[in-house]
Amino acid sequence: MKAAYPLIGSATAMVAAAVLALGAQSVRTAAPYTLLAADGRRTVAAALAGDQEMLRLEDLATALHLTVREDRSGNALTVSRGGATAVLSLDQGLASINGRLVSLPAAPVRDGSKWLVPPEAASRAFALIADARIEVRKASRLIVVGDLRVPRLTIRQEAAGAATRVMLDLTPRTNYAVTQEPRRLLVRFEADGLDATSTAGGGGLVESFATAEPAILSIHLAQGFGSFRTSTLQLDAAASRVVIDLMPAGAAAPPQAQPPAPPAPPPIQPPAGDAVPPFAQPQAAGIRTIVLDPGHGGDELGARGPGGTVEKDLTLDVSRRLKSLIEGRLGIRVLLTRDDDRLVPLDERAPIANNNKADLFISIHANASLRTEARGAEVFYLSLDGYGDEARRVAEDPPSKPLPVFGGGSRDIDLILWDMAQARHLEESSIFAGMIQEELRRRVDMSTRPIQQAPFRVLVSANMPAVLVEMAFISNPQQETELTSDDFKNRVVQALYDAILRYRARIEGQTGRRP
């Protein structure tokens, strides 16, 4: 039986050959990363080895207080801190930390006298020996070490007549203060840093935007600026928007941005005769909140295609597109279980939907199979197989408990057992899954088993209709290519959107409401 991890005992000739091969790779300078830690910020040099982005190990070691040693006999790099050690193979993208294997997108590369490692080495391997959370944000070229507050900030602006409206979207929500200086506004956030991106380049009453340490946004003002006003809108459970209205000198203030007004609650009718008032008024049927669950994230890559496409990236992209479409066209509140590249444990995903009283839960994935010819989308809802007889009893006869109510007497209240909440929604989940399957079939290839039941853990505690959608087989080279195309992603999004429309019409039709 061949060794699964050949770090120890490699022949000297193999070591020499590997080192020469690594050194022969073309290495080109890339834009550096910024590492944020409790003791300050540092620059980490970056490079491209072929198409793979790499970071200078020496810079990471200095910032994280690591010791690096080249182990020629084992054909590896040994990275340690205190009594913990990570061993990085020079043959392949693998690291071993106290017997635990971690995959990396590439092996270390020698650049002259320095070693380069992929950015994922920091979050997947070095975090385990540094005993600290390390998050690598490739898009903004940031490495966040420890429990620092580094919100994502998106800057946009639009004309509002003679005025200019600046919108700052923050995830997570963050306190802030705005102060005015000559020719600029300073927005100071209660944070350790900013992960800022801008879709605005100035115009109107704004000349430019700039950021300063540790977490300051500077808005440089154009000639003619007179005054400003700020307001804050809550976008969802995790995000907020700061709206800054800039008015020209002498102009009246534009109307203040306001969140959409919630629908008025139905009037409570007094009980007739001697009837006992209800314990709580039932909510009107409809769809107010949807939770989308982009599968995997962080160190959990999910399936990987033969061309290197990673499932976690596809699921997040499609979920973001679907969120934008639903919110833009329907005005329904949509939450994501993750809106960035981080790991959310399986047992924490459905509770996000439960805690936000979601009406639908959709977990989005890409499939994989040992058979490379396997193809097509599949839709799943929960099977109680594996959850025991108790789950079936809950589905057939939900438990209840008498509770006292105002005015005397008692009322039986259904109990929600969170570890098997989905058992009560299997029929509706089945109907919703059928609608999704029908809409997908109109737009993409379906597998030979387009709708199935399975005991998925991510679904079992969802207290609302819940489904899991496998968009296609990423293990199929042709389908991997399709999955990376905007056209395919948009077809999947449109199918899910249309299924939601159909399900909403069904729910509202049952109560006599017009969709």
Q: What is the CA radius of gyration of the chain?
A: 27
- The closest alpha carbon to 457, from 366, 374, 384, belongs to 384
Exposure of 417 by Cβ count < 10 A (0-12 exposed, 13-18 middle, 19+ buried)? middle
Q: Does residue 243 carry a pLDDT above 50?
A: yes
**What are φ and ψ of residue 46, in 5° steps?**
-130, 160
58-83 pLDDT, tens digit each: 999 999 999 999 988 878 999 999 88
Which two three-digit tokens encode residue 251? 């102009």
Average pLDDT over residues 27-33: 92
- Looking at residue 400, its pLDDT comes to 41
Name the average pLDDT for the chain. 81
Between 3.40.630.40, 3.40.30.10, 3.40.50.300, 1.10.10.60, what CATH number should domain 289-510 receive?
3.40.630.40
| Residue 387's pLDDT band (cuts 50, 70, 90) | very low
Q: Does residue 409 carry a pLDDT above 70?
A: no
Q: Does residue 495 carry a pLDDT above 90?
A: yes
Cβ pair 358, 291 in contact under 8 A: yes
- Looking at residue 289, its pLDDT comes to 93
The whole-angstrom separation of Cα 34 and Cα 445 is: 43
Can you tell me which residue has the tokens 């005054």? 227
Cβ pair 464, 358 in contact under 8 A: yes
| Residue 392's pLDDT band (cuts 50, 70, 90) | very low
Can you tell me which residue has the tokens 């109560």? 511
Q: Tell me the β-bridge partners of 202.
A: none
What residues contact 65, with CB distance under 8 A and at least 6 apart? Answer: 81, 130
- Looking at residue 237, its pLDDT comes to 65
297-341 pLDDT, tens digit each: 998 999 999 999 999 999 999 999 999 999 888 888 899 999 999
- Looking at residue 414, its pLDDT comes to 37
Torsion of CA 340, 343, 347, 353, to 10 degrees: 0
pTM, whole model, 2 decimals? 0.47
Cβ pair 141, 31 in contact under 8 A: yes
Which two three-digit tokens encode residue 510? 């049952």
Superfamily of domain 12-145: Copper amine oxidase-like, N-terminal domain (3.30.457.10)
- The closest alpha carbon to 232, from 214, 245, 217, 220, belongs to 245
Using alpha carbons, list the distances in angstroms from residue 314 to 16, 147, 148, 320: 39, 27, 27, 10
124-133 pLDDT, tens digit each: 899 889 878 8
| Residue 285's pLDDT band (cuts 50, 70, 90) | low
261-270 pLDDT, tens digit each: 444 443 433 3
Q: Tell me the β-bridge partners of 104.
A: none
- Looking at residue 335, its pLDDT comes to 93
- Looking at residue 275, its pLDDT comes to 34
Q: Does residue 280 carry a pLDDT above 60?
A: no
The whole-angstrom separation of Cα 312 and Cα 306 is: 15
Can you tell me which residue has the tokens 């934008």? 324
Which residue did the predictor score with more confidence, 233 or 390? Answer: 233
Can you tell me which residue has the tokens 């927005």? 187
Using alpha carbons, list the distances in angstroms from residue 273 to 270, 277, 279, 387: 9, 10, 17, 46
Q: Does residue 258 carry a pLDDT above 90?
A: no
Q: Does residue 283 carry a pLDDT above 50?
A: no
Query: Picking from 13-27, 208-222, 266-280, 389-403, which range would have the lowest pLDDT averaged per residue?
Result: 266-280
171-200 pLDDT, tens digit each: 888 889 998 888 899 999 999 999 988 766
- Looking at residue 276, its pLDDT comes to 32
What residues contact 97, with CB distance under 8 A and at least 6 apart? Answer: 84, 85, 86, 87, 125, 128, 129
**Helix H segments across 275-398?**
311-330, 346-355, 388-396
- Looking at residue 7, its pLDDT comes to 36
> End-to-end distance of the chain based on CA atoms, in angstroms?
63
- Looking at residue 473, its pLDDT comes to 96
Q: Is the backbone peptide bond immediately before 6 cis, with ω within 30 degrees of 0?
A: no
How many beta carbons lie within 10 A of that of residue 177, not counting itself?
10
Average pLDDT over residues 497-506: 94
- Looking at residue 1, its pLDDT comes to 35
- Looking at residue 252, its pLDDT comes to 54
Q: Is the backbone peptide bond immediately before 270 cis, with ω within 30 degrees of 0?
A: no
- Looking at residue 165, its pLDDT comes to 92
- Looking at residue 420, its pLDDT comes to 66
Which residue did the predictor score with more confidence, 73 or 2? Answer: 73
381: left (phi over 0), alpha (psi -120 to 50) or beta: beta
Amino acid 235 reads L
102-145 pLDDT, tens digit each: 888 899 999 988 999 999 999 889 988 987 889 888 888 999 99
The whole-angstrom separation of Cα 429 and Cα 384 is: 13
142-155 pLDDT, tens digit each: 999 988 899 989 89
| Residue 45's pLDDT band (cuts 50, 70, 90) | very high
Between 2.60.40.3500, 3.40.50.800, 3.40.50.720, 3.30.565.10, what CATH number should domain 152-248 receive?
2.60.40.3500
Average pLDDT over residues 362-379: 94
The whole-angstrom separation of Cα 42 and Cα 36 is: 7
The domain segmentation of the chain, as residue ranges, is 12-145, 152-248, 289-510
